[in-house]
Structures are given as structure tokens and as C-alpha cells.
Structure 1
């Protein structure tokens, strides 16, 4: 336990500064313990059973491919059991795709003529599991063969933290702000970093990103419209990715709107409660008004899908299920059939800035893990089908 003396301050600014310093020190200590010895996250290894499931093949087929030399043996074999890291899974996926008669069976990403899919998660209600949903989508799609770029538009940097970079402690290097700022923006490629997770890159956020709101107000009407700044930046790197996942701040400001303009699809995470339903109604109403202002400039906004994602869903809670039923009655197929469950497994993983895909089954009660994993798999799979549908498949 951390032992500290009482905070003594002569002014409110000194008090808040001391509070900030203590929190910063505590965060630094915790994160260095969590990511020791090199302060970097690493993706866990996967058993042969998990690998076969992720690759969409049987365990028998995977063993046969090793036996006949179609694929290389993994680096880690314990007691005759094979374990695979993310890079090895990626190599196997490429190998299977090259030998497949069905294009896209193992590599479901873009083909010639397919447009980049940009999915924004947005809601101005805190606690909607927006960032948690975003990282699970990133990890699911990356593990299933998509080339994914995560764009963190939230100055708080939650998605950045999930990707192994602790924005609370700051970091050296460019962030997404540097690509969309008004004064000497840098190329988008200069802001993107490789993560520890294969197939997943990140355009990180820093607290300075909040300056975009003020700068946009100051620069209104000068040069390129503010809402085009992110889409223009992404366009320069679109050939490197199949899918972009944007995590926007919990506010309907300029950052959220520039993400909304760049997006080809939108997901609105919401928890099934009356307070959240009322908040979401206000959010949608404000969004409509802002979109009208953007469209009045002559801009054309077309989204492949604009849907709700129910999060923190508890099937045993009757009042919340009434809200879910109401949402489905009102919006039919604009509410994803799959839901993100209220799960201690997901919550515990998020406390460590991890997704359920980074947790091994033995780390928690198996039934808890299985329910959480199945829930996130269903959300990811349905989103993948929507992406494929946007590509005309």
C-alpha cells in the first residue's frame, strides 16, 4: 500500500497540482509493475485449439499441415503441445490464403475496388463502454486477418492505453493531433505506430488533442473545412489498411464531427437503462442538427451502416431487457443483434487495459471467460459481416 502524507496547500491551484502529481506517480508505479521489465505489453500465446479456432480450421487439419511441412512449427512447444504467437498465426493465415481456391477465406480484407472501411464509435454519455467496444473490435478484426488502424480521437487516450501506450504519462513522438492540427500538420504516416498486436497499428492520442477544439473555433472559415481534416489525413494511408476504428471523445464537439465525416459507418454503444436511453436521444438529436450544418455546406455524408450496439447487457435484468426490446422495436436492424455482455471478465481485463482476447482462459472462472469471449466474438463477427456486406459480398 502506498503511504503518503496529507496534502497541504496554500491555494486551489497548488492543491490540484499536488493531486495531479500524486496520481501521476501512482500511475507510473502501477504501469511499470504491470509491464515490467521493459514497460511494454506483449500479446499472449495461443494454444493449438485456440489457433485452429481463430484460423477457421480443425485441429486435425492444423496438425496435418505441420506434418506435411505446409506450415512451419511454432517456436514454443511444451510437452508436445504447440503454442503460437500472433506473428506465427499471421504467417499461417497468409500461407492458407495462398493455397486456398476461395479468395478471402483466410484473409477477409480488401480486394481490388474495395473501399477502406472506417467505423466510428461515438456517444457523449460516459460509461457506454465505447473504448472497451473499440479495442475489442480492433483485436477481433486483427486476429481474424484484417489490417486494422486504430485512431484515438479522445484526448483522454483510453484506446491508446489499451494499445500499450500510456498517454497519462505522456510519450515521445507524434499523435493524431499532429496530423489534423492547423499549424504545419505532419503526414498521417508519421503519427502511426506499430502495436504489440499483429495487424493492428495505432494513431495515438495525447492530451494536447483537446487543443483541436479551440483551434477549430479560431480558424473557422479559413482554408479546408475542419470536418475534412481527418478524412484527408486518413486518405494518405488508406492503401495500408482494410479497416479503421475511430474512438471518439464522450462529447459532440469538433473532434467527434471530424470523425463522423471521415467515417463510412457508425456504431453508437449504449447501455440499456432509461437514463442512457434519454441521453442517447439527446445525442442523436444534436448529431442530426450538426450533420445538417455540414450537409448545408455541400458535403455529402453516406454511411454504410449507422447502428446501435447494446453494451453491458444483462439478460437476467428485466428492466434493462425492456429497454433492449424497445430499441429493437424502434430501430429493427439498426440495432446489432449481438450485444456486449455485462461481464466481470471484460471488466477485470479492462482494469489492466486488456481485452478479453489478451486474457487466457485459466486466468478466470472458465464459464465467465467463455461467456465474455463468446459475447465479444459475436459482436466482432456481426461487424465483420457488415464490413463484407459494404464490400458487396
Structure 2
């Protein structure tokens, strides 16, 4: 049946030519933004530097112990300022070297299972990538071995870690896409790459990953194998190298999102406390429950170490936010994280320059706004860290000693 022509209008028609022009203009804006952040011939670097006092806190030893280890050669002597003679500070890699020397690295035992955490929601704009990036860096600052897997073709997390998805990431070699294809690699090692953050490796994404949705659909039609467990198999091939693996899935109920649900052994569900987003979270939980039930019949049940809802973008000055957050706490008394990620201009301003709050330095870290925002992020990280450690038997004695178990 032929399509009826549109009735006459005073507005000019928008066809393929106009849409192509619109797309080209949008690409130009993105290119200009990325040119501002990704200067040619440069790469993102971590500028953090820690005083000996802060280093002692992070390592769990005294300043005197650190200096003695430098004097007796167990640690390299810290560089000093030529004029003042004071230490210029320690990099995160130096901190981790100290932890290794003093035996205070928090790594899991080989008998513990790596935490594979999906920050999952079927709705965009809830702070998913923000949570992934900041949690990854929180754990790295603590000394954990972290892997971030960007499963979203929008590649926001990839960009935050200093990679231009359109330039620095090859479709065929460096994302999850080759692994999802029929006859693809047996392991995910091919896609792992180091980042500028000591302790964080990642598997990046770009727009080409979107084609994996079609690849999955085609394979499910023609193959008997339960292909949605392909990602879980891939993570099994690399997880011995890491303590914590964070998954950033696309904000949609597609094949990749379902694969993420099957691959994870823990879930964090970000949920801003407003009517629309909370309704979306309720629908997500209902759909997830039904979907996982259907998938279990085909590929076996999948249990999680923990599933927690995290209130994000909370604004205490909005009465509706406060009321809905109170309702969330009442409805999900055991399922909400106690920590809340408040709405903060600090996060927005950092993200505009493809930074996180954890990598800001200098005067911008001495404001009250920064301190408050850092406190919110630290509280989320600490609570999730405790859940992870409770899932590791090798940490139970330490937790009891700390009065946390």
C-alpha cells in the first residue's frame, strides 16, 4: 500500500537531505568539543599527587615507616623540590608500590570470586556512566585491581577515560563487537587496554558496537547455543586479573543489556528520586524479574551477590525529591544504599571537560562544593566496597577485626 502524501504545510518538508545535513552539523559540534579536550598528539594523564601524610593514611602505615623504607632501600627515595628540599609528592603508582612493600594491598584471595558489578538501568540520564567512572576510580585509589567494560555504543565511559571513540578505538579489534560475532575470539584479552589510572584497565566502546545488537539477534535465531552467556564467558577469561569488574551497559532492553544481566554477579541500579525516573526504575525491576525468569529456563538461573538501588541526582532543596526518596526508603528498606549521590554542579563541571571529581586538582579541590561532592562519592564507594568485601571469605576476618561483620 502506497503512503499518502502529507497535506500542504507552511513549513518546508524535512527529508533525507535535511536529516543528513542535521547529522553533519551535529558531528561538527561533537568534533569541536573533542578537539578541545583531545588535543592532537596528547593523551590524558593523571595529575594527582599525595603528601607523605596522605600517603601514610592511604597505605595504612606511619610517615616514619615510609621514610625508613625509603632510607633502607625498600622504597625509592621520593623526589624533592630543588629549592625547598621538600618531597614533591607521591603518585598513585608510588602509593601502590608502598602497599605492595607493606602488604596492605586490598586484593581478593585467589579463592574469592571477582566482583562483576553492572550499573544497570534501561533509562538514560540516570547517572549510570557517572557512577561507573567514579566507582572505578574510588576503588583504584584504594588499591584494587579494576576493569571497566564499556558496553554502550554511546561510549561515554570510554571518553571519560581519555579515549576518543571515533579515533582511538578500532571497530574490529578493540571493542566487544568482535567477541560477540560468530567465530570471534575465545578470550577478551585482545580488547583489554591500560588506562592513565594505575590499577584500572578497560575495554572501550564506540558506535560500531551497536551492530552487536543485530549480531546477537541473528545468532539467537540460527544457533542452539545460549549466546546471551557469551559475555559471561568472556569475563570468565579475564577475571583472574582483577578484583572488581564494572559493566556500563546501554540504556535499553536489548541483547547487550540482557547479556550484561547474565554476566554480572551484582547490580547497582541508579534511580533519581523524581516521578518519571522512579516509575522507570519500577518498570525496570518488573521487566528484569520477568526477563531473568525467561532466560533462566533457557540458560539456567543467575543469582546475584547483592542488588542495590542508588538514589542519584538527589536535590534536598526540592520537596518532591525528598518525598520520593522517603518513599523509596520505605518501600525498599533493605535494598537502598544508605549513601546518596547528590545533584552537584561539581560533577557537571568536571564532566564537561571529560574529567571526574576524583581527578580534579589545585584550587578547585579546596572549595566547599568540591568537599561535599567528594564526600557523597566516597560514601557510595565505601558502602559498595563493604558489600564486595563481605562477598570475599578471605576478607571476613579483617571485617570482624574492623567491627564491620
Instruction: Assess same fold via TM > 0.5.
Output: yes
Quote the Cα distance in structure 1 between the aligned partners of 2:271 and 2:27.
30
Indicate how the Cα distance of structure 1 residues 10 and 335 shifts in structure 2: closer, same or farther if over 3 A, else same.
closer
State the Cα distance separating 1:314 from its structure 2 match: 2.3
Structure 2 residue 52 is the aligned partner of structure 1 residue 54: no
TM-score of the two chains, using structure 1 as the length reference: 0.89
Q: Mean Cα displacement is larger for which, 125-134 or 174-183?
A: 174-183
Alignment partners' CA distance in 1, 2:316 and 2:363 = 25
Q: Which residues of 2 match residues 301-340 of structure 1 at below 5 A?
A: 301-340=302-341
Aligned to 1:109: 107
Contact 2:71 2:77 in 1 (8 A): no
Q: CA deviation at 1:50?
A: 4.1
- Aligned residue number for residue 182 of structure 2: 182
Give 2:292's aligned residue. Answer: 291
Q: Would the alpha carbon gap of residues 37 and 93 (structure 1) be closer, same or farther in structure 2, given more than 3 Å must change?
A: farther
Provide the C-alpha distance between the structure 1 equivalents of 2:21 and 2:89, rounded to a whole number of angstroms. Answer: 47
Spell out, residue by residue over 1:18-38, the C-alpha distance to the aligned partner (whole angstroms, 9 max, x if none): 333344344334334334363
Q: 1:101 corresponds to which residue? A: none
Instruction: Tell me which structure has the larger Cα radius of gyration.
Output: 2
| Deviating 4+ runs (over 6 angstroms) | none
Query: Unpaired segments of 5 or more residues in structure 1?
Result: 1-8, 98-105
Indicate if the aligned counterparts of 1:28 and 1:169 stay in contact, CA closer than 8 A: no
Cα drift, residue 130 of structure 1: 0.4
Alignment of 1:27-176 (within 5 A): 27-36=30-39, 38-48=41-51, 49-57=53-61, 59=63, 62-63=66-67, 65-66=69-70, 69-75=73-79, 77=81, 79=84, 80-97=86-103, 106-169=104-167, 171-172=169-170, 173-176=173-176
Rounded to whole Å, the distance in 2 between the matches of 1:312 and 1:56 is: 33
Q: Distance in 2 between matches of 1:64 and 1:340?
A: 40
Q: Is the 1:216–1:226 contact (alpha carbons within 8 Å) kept by the matching residues of 2?
A: yes
Q: Helix, strand or coil: the match of 1:42?
A: coil
**Residue in structure 2 matched with residue 15 of structure 1 by the alignment:** 18
SS at match of 2:108: coil
Distance 1:85 1:13, change over 3 A: farther
Gaps of 5+ in 2: 1-11, 397-405
Q: Is the 8 A contact 2:121 2:281 kept in 1?
A: yes
Match of 2:392 in 1: 391
Q: What is aligned with 2:400?
A: none
Question: 2-side partners of 1:140 and 1:218: how far apart?
Answer: 39
Question: After the TM superposition, which of the residue ranges 225-234 and 167-176 deviates more from structure 2?
Answer: 167-176
* Alignment match, 1:6: none
- The residue that corresponds to 1:207 in the other structure is 207
The residue that corresponds to 1:231 in the other structure is: 232
- Residue aligned with 1:118, SS: strand
Partners of 2:163 and 2:374 in 1: how far apart? 24
Instruction: Please show how residues 334-353 of structure 1 align to structure 2 within 5 Å.
Output: 334-353=335-354
Matched pairs, number: 377
Gap change, CA 1:227 and 1:298, over 3 Å in 2: closer
| Alpha-carbon offset, residue 369 of structure 1 | 0.9
The answer to whether the 8 A contact 2:268-2:308 is kept is yes
Distance 2:186 2:362 in 1: 42
